Chain A
Amino acid sequence: MSSWWRSVEPAPKDPILGVTEAFLADPSPDKVNVGVGAYRDDNGKPVVLECVREAERRIAGNLKMEYLPMGGSVNMVQETLKLAYGENSEFIKDKRIAAVQSLSGTGACRLFADFQKRFRPDSQIYIPVPTWANHHNIWRDAQVPQRSYHYYLPETRGLDFAALMDDVKNAPDGSFFLLHACAHNPTGVDPTEVQWREISYQFKVKGHFAFFDMAYQGFASGDPERDAKSIRIFLNDGHFIGISQSYAKNMGLYGQRVGCLSVLCEDEKQAVAVKSQLQQLARRMYSNPPLHGALIVSTILGDPDLKKLWLKEVKVMADRIIGMRTALRESLEKRGSTLSWRHITDQIGMFCYSGLTPEQVDRLTNEYHIYMTRNGRISMAGVTTGNVGYLANAIHEVTKSA
């Protein structure tokens, strides 16, 4: 009898995670990984935050490993909502937010997509072009049809605001939109505050639903409050939004898979109903979320000293990235590149959308052992004072004939 799986095709490698696999396999001593968006210090090493180490010391040995409720750690969720909605948010006080602990940002988006499919089965999701590749996979597997809206303008390497607003206006009333709250991935291009206000206003006119993916709060400007500005504008304008939050980057908890999905409702009763349905979806996927990472988060955010330490450490990470943006741009300009590289410092967050073509990226990899995704996205976290010159030189070499 032959295998049931004879007809199973080999799946294509994940475009983002596949980059690191290739990097690891490369024996060259000069290799540089500016692929996956995980923070590195100036020595190119992964970082475990001091506040996290301290939290783990406190947790180890005291822990019971019982199941969390389906909605996860209540403490952790409460602290997380404060970050997004504001420390003294009336919505938290009035218990109007349906919120559950999720498997980092991916899990939050997926839970929302499943929830959207179940309760608004006729809806679609408008996704910016470009976006994090996995967004497409998530809503596809949730079987929610996708539409796109203009976002990035290659000519300016900035926001295509006019086209974005056209798409918002032309979408049917009451459409669902995926928005990156800050530090857009992969472009690093964010709307200005003024632009966010206009977007929010138009959303009100059209009755659109805004779902924010906030994976980089604190990482963009170094100030979590500032990075939540877009969300606060929408809340102020009275929108009932949804938010996916992740601690992968801003607390360096990548592999712990800690995040939160929240949906703002009209009142407490509705929030209870929505939360109960989100829990049902979680129950069918993994029953209840993992404990360890949630405890780290609630230990840190629940202790004023640890929280202060965390805010300091987040700012250090953000500042280093901002410093590397400046260094890379100056390095390129110093080498006499005639192209404009101001987008490197205009863009914000972990990624720089360099404007490099796939062919140029291939050259960087094959000739210089520099690894990045083929859309030209550079993870600035992978740039160090030690490799910025090498990187600038290589980019200059592959672009100077462009």
Chain B
Amino acid sequence: MESQGSCSVFDHVVRAPEDPILGVTVAYNKDQSPIKLNLGVGAYRTEEGKPLVLNVVRQAEQTLVNDKSRVKEYLPIVGLAEFNKQSAKLIFGSDSPAIQENRVTTVQCLSGTGSLRVGGEFLAWHYLERTIYIPVPTWGNHPKVFTLAGLSVKTYRYYDPATRGLDFQGMLEDLNSAPAGAIVLLHACAHNPTGVDPTLEQWEQIRQLIRLKGLLPFFDSAYQGFASGSLDSDAQSVRIFVADGGECLVAQSYAKNMGLYGERVGALSIVCKNADVAGRVESQLKLVIRPMYSNPPIHGASIVAMILRDRDMYNEWTIELKGMADRIISMRHQLFEALLARGTPGDWSHIIKQIGMFTFTGLNSEQVAFMTREYHIYMTSDGRISMAGLSSTTVPHLADAIHAAVTRVA
């Protein structure tokens, strides 16, 4: 049979490059070596190197499956109401005046990515400024999500390679020269990929500058509870902004802190000046969501809602969460000590100063490639390693690899 035109209308489509982050796991899986280490994507692993489903999540799941009255109907466009309510409380605090005054609209989205995309598209449609400032560096997917949402992306200085810490002056200068109304992406805690967070005092200065310049903050909160082990501490940056009565957007993810990665559970909150505005904003958010996927998936949100509203389950969750955060902090210390013990040249204290799941090692792409080739260690080429992928048994192997890379590769 002769085909129409004998040529596909998509004949010219070229193969896209591998996603740099997710591509790491693809490469890792292909590697046949018995000793290999995946420090790429930020998914938590136990000391045995296994993925972890939290006990409290298992409990919630069992309850759901045993509940014969549950049906699989469509959620509303904005998602599961109980989930939205609990998510807002989690990030803003249960006593948050913004919640009590009904000026927060919260919509369930597909994890952090989905929340950022919906928020970005809403801004592109309804906000007077179409520029968003993102830190350098940031999660690789940020600029792509916002660009496709219809925003134009600019940057502000953030990481200082010389100190492996925050370039606070540079950050303030760049935010200061942003046009009034510009959107600013802020990592609420456990900055990805650097693990470098502002102190609370620095956050206060950032807040003052942002409010003075009339910039619009958009928080990405993907690690609440994972950074310090305390849900409230990790939300402080967001809460000081909300406390001043101003407006902001917050994208929340439950991928890491509840281990719900593949279920795609998250929420977008927009804090507005008053309830009337919040209502109108919510109605417009629905118009962004409906042509994207109509309504969000029910399973993961049902698990989260159940855990957050049941006091015992909530408490159990906080304990399991702290357990994960503590294990990561312990890995930081073990790696740091292992490098000290080997006399690896350089200052490695940033490993224990940085916060959250990732360490920005400071290794360059040649060193990273060397470590992959010679030691079968998989990480992103910017030198970011996921501490969650380490265990006491694998720390020595990584320390050896870093030592070799630093001493043998420029």
Contact = CB atoms under 8 A, between A and B. Distances in A.
Interface of A: 1-11, 14, 17, 36, 38, 46-48, 52, 56-57, 60-61, 63-70, 103-104, 106-107, 110, 114, 119-120, 134, 137-138, 140-142, 174, 203-204, 207-209, 236-240, 248, 252-257, 263, 265-266, 270, 272-274, 276-277, 279-281, 283-293
B278 to A, nearest CB: 8
Interface-central residue, B3, B9, B272, B298, by most chain A CB under 10 Å: B9
Contacts of A291: 262-264
A4 B10 contact: no
Given A10-B280, A137-B287, A240-B8, 5 more contacts: A46-B71, A68-B262, A238-B3, A266-B8, A293-B297
B5 to A, nearest CB: 5
Interface string B109-121: 1110110010001
A288 B53 CA distance: 19
Interface-central residue, B43, B65, B246, B262, by most chain A CB under 10 Å: B262
B277 A5 contact: yes
28 contacts: A3-B272, A3-B273, A5-B270, A8-B284, A10-B280, A11-B287, A14-B290, A38-B73, A38-B74, A56-B65, A60-B62, A61-B61, A67-B41, A67-B261, A69-B22, A103-B293, A106-B294, A137-B290, A238-B4, A272-B15, A276-B15, A276-B16, A283-B113, A284-B141, A286-B111, A288-B262, A292-B297, A293-B297
Given A65-B261, A252-B72, A291-B262, A285 B292 contact: yes
Given A141-B291, A239-B4, A283-B141, A290 B277 contact: no
A141 B292 contact: yes
B212 to A, nearest CB: 11
A64 B291 contact: no
Interface in B14-63: 14-16, 19, 22, 41, 43, 51, 53, 57-58, 61-62
B19 to A, nearest CB: 6
B277 A8 contact: yes
B391 to A, nearest CB: 17
Nearest to B19: A283
A4 B110 CA distance: 25
Kindly list the 10 A-B residue pairs having the minimum CB-CB distance in the complex, ordered from nearest.
Answer: A291-B262, A103-B293, A3-B273, A238-B3, A286-B110, A255-B298, A137-B291, A292-B299, A11-B283, A276-B16
Nearest to B260: A65
A204 B1 CA distance: 11
B216 interface: yes
Contacts of B148: 114, 281, 284-285
B1 A237 contact: yes
Contacts of B280: 5, 8-11
Contacts of A288: 262, 264
A330 to B, nearest CB: 30
Contacts of A60: 61-62, 64-65
Contacts of B128: 4
Nearest to B16: A276
A135 B78 CA distance: 19
A110 B127 CA distance: 23
Contacts of B71: 46-48
Contacts of A2: 273
B298 A256 contact: yes
A286 B141 contact: no
A286 B3 contact: no
A274 B58 CA distance: 37
B16 A279 contact: yes
Contacts of B246: 1
A290 B299 contact: yes
Contacts of B93: none
B76 interface: yes
Contacts of A238: 1-4
A142 B1 CA distance: 34
A287 B260 contact: no
Interface in B87-144: 109-111, 113-114, 117, 121, 126-128, 141, 144
B182 to A, nearest CB: 12
B11 interface: yes
A134 to B, nearest CB: 6
A255 B263 contact: no
Nearest to B41: A67
B76 to A, nearest CB: 7
Contacts of A283: 19, 22, 113, 141, 144
A11 B13 CA distance: 37
Nearest to A37: B74
A130 to B, nearest CB: 17
B298 A240 contact: no
A280 B16 contact: yes
Contacts of B296: 257
B256 to A, nearest CB: 11
A10 B283 contact: yes
Interface-central residue, A208, A252, A280, A284, by most chain B CB under 10 Å: A284
A374 to B, nearest CB: 18
A81 B284 CA distance: 35
B13 A256 contact: no
Contacts of B8: 240, 265-266, 270
A290 B13 contact: no
B191 interface: no
Contacts of B70: 48
B294 A134 contact: yes
B72 A48 contact: yes
A17 B76 contact: yes
Interface string B140-166: 010011011000000000000000000
A63 B53 contact: yes
Contacts of B2: 238
B262 A65 contact: yes
B73 A66 contact: no
B281 interface: yes
Contact of A285 (B113, B255, B263): B113
A103 B58 CA distance: 24
Contacts of B72: 46, 48, 52, 252-256
A289 B298 contact: no
B264 A11 contact: no
Interface string B366-397: 00000000000000000000000000000000
Given A67-B262, A238-B4, A256-B298, A134 B291 contact: yes
